[in-house]
């Protein structure tokens, strides 16, 4: 079956480079679909989707953009248009992978469209910005960023080599067949280093009953990635047992997953088992980056680039309230697991974050604010005790296997 690669870019200013990539792809026996996002002039290669169509999808006309002469506004419009058109074309089966080349504007426009595609669809961005912080371009999607080394401004021996490698890479991606997946239902789970024993036990117990667990590192981007995949329908249930990202959202740490965290499973109507893993800690970078207002708090140097701060009873009360509000959104069954002897490897008698009063505030707030349909399970165990992990897995299995 023939494959098609979508090429997104400004064909008025970089048409020569895009034409070169187009030829390379087609020489590999793969079709191309060209989407022009250029505004300044006529395209140097003929697009399948002209820039006027992209501008229209972005809410205006190409003539209007040219008359206005506002480059920033033009980029915003083309981003909006690409975000509308790219997923629609993919859903219609028009392409199998996507590639683009660009500087700042081109990278912003093309990756905006790439982020609208499901995980697993090949996405390659050759960018002058790819050697720096690319988090705003990639976000939580599997976008491959390739540094262009030289500016994308004409063809020379060096740029031809780089663009040839890029064309080969995207061709290889669309031709590569993923291993056939098994039929085991997928379970999403969240983990931190300080809850690893807990999640490992949960995963092993679920595997014994025929379930496959996909673990996400609860570092902000990990939680958002999981939420996105839940929304896309990948999972049968969620073992969201390390909800630590809420500490950073509420208190102001660096690993927040945003205010929508914990909503995807509720909206998807899938069973959830929730716990309080690592809600004892807020994350910062190196010790010298901790805000001055927190300098007198209980701080722990986890490693040279990560500093943890113990949450207070007041903060735990607010965190519990926020989590409860999200759990109450769910129409599907939810079980809330509370380990009364500690919520992380650092929250254990004799360890630096042991604070029974803060944990009590957290547990009391959760119990106060969840609705009666949320099943609360309190066990006189530490979160990393094997028995707590087994109990968590058994509750999730019961939810999955109960009659509809």
CATH number at residue 104: 3.40.50.12020
Find the mean pLDDT for residues 377-384. 98
Q: Is residue 338 part of a domain?
A: yes
Q: Residue 181's pLDDT band (boundaries 50, 70, 90)?
A: low
Q: Average pLDDT of the chain?
A: 95
pTM of the model: 0.83
Share of the chain above pLDDT 70, in %: 99
pLDDT of residue 318 exceeding 80, the answer is: yes
Token pair, residue 375, equals 């099943």
How would you class 262 by CB atoms within 10 Å of its CB: exposed for 0-12, middle for 13-18, buried for 19 or more?
Answer: buried
Find the mean pLDDT for residues 67-76. 90
Q: Residue 404's pLDDT band (boundaries 50, 70, 90)?
A: low
Q: Can you list the positions of beta strands (E) in 103-176?
A: 123-127, 144-147
Share of the chain above pLDDT 90, in %: 93
Looking at the structure of the chain, the number of domains it has is 2
Judgement on whether residues 242 and 358 belong to the same structural domain of the protein: yes
Token pair, residue 83, equals 């975000």
Q: Which of 402, 339, 398 is nearest to 205 (CA)?
A: 398
| Owning domain of residue 390 | 186-401
Judgement on whether residues 367 and 241 belong to the same structural domain of the protein: yes
Rounded-to-integer distance, Cα 91 and Cα 181, Å? 21
401 or 8: whose pLDDT is higher? Answer: 8
State how beta strands 97-102 and 144-147 pair: unpaired
Find the mean pLDDT for residues 325-339. 97
Judgement on whether residues 221 and 314 belong to the same structural domain of the protein: yes
Query: Could you give the angle at the alpha carbon of 153 between the alpha carbons of 151 and 156, nearest 5°?
Result: 90
CB 310 within 8 A of CB 298: yes
DSSP helix/strand/coil, 315: helix
Give the model's pLDDT for residue 175.
Answer: 95
44 CB contacts (<8 Å, ≥6 apart)? 11, 12, 15, 16, 19
Last residue of a domain, one of 122, 144, 175: 175
pLDDT of residue 103 exceeding 70, the answer is: yes
CB 263 within 8 A of CB 329: yes
Using one digit for the tens of pLDDT, what is the confidence trace for 13-70?
Answer: 899 999 999 999 999 999 999 999 999 889 999 999 999 999 999 999 999 999 988 8
Find the mean pLDDT for residues 279-286. 97
Determine the number of helices (DSSP H) and then strands (DSSP E) in the chain: 14, 14
Find the mean pLDDT for residues 205-222. 95
Give the model's pLDDT for residue 179.
Answer: 77
DSSP helix/strand/coil, 291: coil
Q: Is residue 181 part of a domain?
A: no
Judgement on whether residues 295 and 165 belong to the same structural domain of the protein: no
Last residue of a domain, one of 117, 152, 175: 175
Rounded-to-integer distance, Cα 404 and Cα 398, Å? 12
Find the mean pLDDT for residues 262-271. 97
Q: Is residue 180 part of a domain?
A: no
Find the mean pLDDT for residues 114-132. 96
Find the mean pLDDT for residues 122-148. 95
Give the model's pLDDT for residue 69.
Answer: 85
Judgement on whether residues 171 and 289 belong to the same structural domain of the protein: no
CATH classification at residue 229: 3.40.50.12030
- Residue labelled with tokens 């003929």: 46
Judgement on whether residues 32 and 83 belong to the same structural domain of the protein: yes
Judgement on whether residues 314 and 368 belong to the same structural domain of the protein: yes
Q: Which of 143-147, 155-159, 179-183 has the lowest mean pLDDT?
A: 179-183
Judgement on whether residues 142 and 203 belong to the same structural domain of the protein: no
Judgement on whether residues 93 and 238 belong to the same structural domain of the protein: no
Q: Is residue 279 part of a domain?
A: yes
């Amino acid at each position: 079956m023939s494959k098609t690669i979508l090429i997104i870019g400004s064909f008025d200013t970089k048409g020569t480079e895009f034409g070169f990539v187009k030829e390379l792809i087609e020489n590999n026996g793969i079709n191309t679909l060209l989407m022009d996002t250029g505004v300044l002039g006529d395209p140097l290669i003929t697009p399948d989707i002209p820039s006027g169509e992209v501008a229209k999808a972005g809410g205006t006309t190409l003539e209007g953009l040219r008359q206005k002469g506002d480059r920033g506004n033009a980029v915003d419009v083309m981003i909006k248009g690409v975000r509308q058109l790219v997923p629609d074309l993919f859903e219609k089966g028009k392409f199998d992978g996507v590639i683009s080349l660009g500087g700042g504007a081109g990278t912003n426009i093309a990756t905006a469209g790439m982020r609208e595609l499901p995980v697993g669809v090949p996405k390659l961005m050759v960018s002058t910005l790819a050697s720096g912080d690319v988090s705003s371009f990639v976000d939580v999607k599997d976008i491959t960023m390739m540094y262009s080394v030289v500016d994308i401004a004409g063809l020379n021996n060096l740029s031809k080599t780089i663009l040839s490698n890029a064309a080969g890479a995207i061709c290889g991606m669309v031709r590569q067949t993923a291993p056939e997946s098994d039929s085991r239902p997928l379970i999403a789970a969240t983990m931190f280093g300080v809850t690893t024993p807990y999640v490992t036990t949960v995963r092993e117990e679920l595997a014994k009953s025929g379930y496959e667990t996909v673990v996400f590192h609860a570092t902000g981007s990990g939680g958002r990635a999981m939420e996105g995949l839940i929304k896309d329908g990948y999972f049968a249930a969620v073992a969201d047992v390390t909800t630590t990202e809420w500490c950073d959202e509420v208190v102001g740490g660096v690993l927040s997953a945003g205010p929508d965290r914990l909503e995807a499973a509720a909206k998807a109507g899938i069973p959830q088992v929730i716990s309080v893993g690592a809600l004892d800690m807020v994350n910062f970078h190196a010790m010298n980056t901790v805000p001055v207002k927190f300098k007198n708090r209980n701080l722990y140097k986890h490693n040279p680039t990560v500093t943890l701060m113990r949450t207070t009873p007041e903060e735990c009360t607010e965190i519990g309230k926020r989590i409860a509000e999200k759990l109450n959104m769910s129409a599907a069954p939810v079980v809330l697991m509370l380990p009364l002897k500690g919520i992380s490897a650092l929250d254990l008698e004799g360890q630096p974050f042991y604070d029974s009063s803060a944990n009590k505030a957290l547990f009391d707030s959760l119990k106060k604010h969840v609705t009666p349909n949320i099943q609360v399970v309190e066990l006189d165990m530490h979160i990393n005790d094997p028995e707590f992990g087994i109990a968590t897995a058994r509750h999730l299995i019961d939810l999955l296997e109960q009659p509809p």
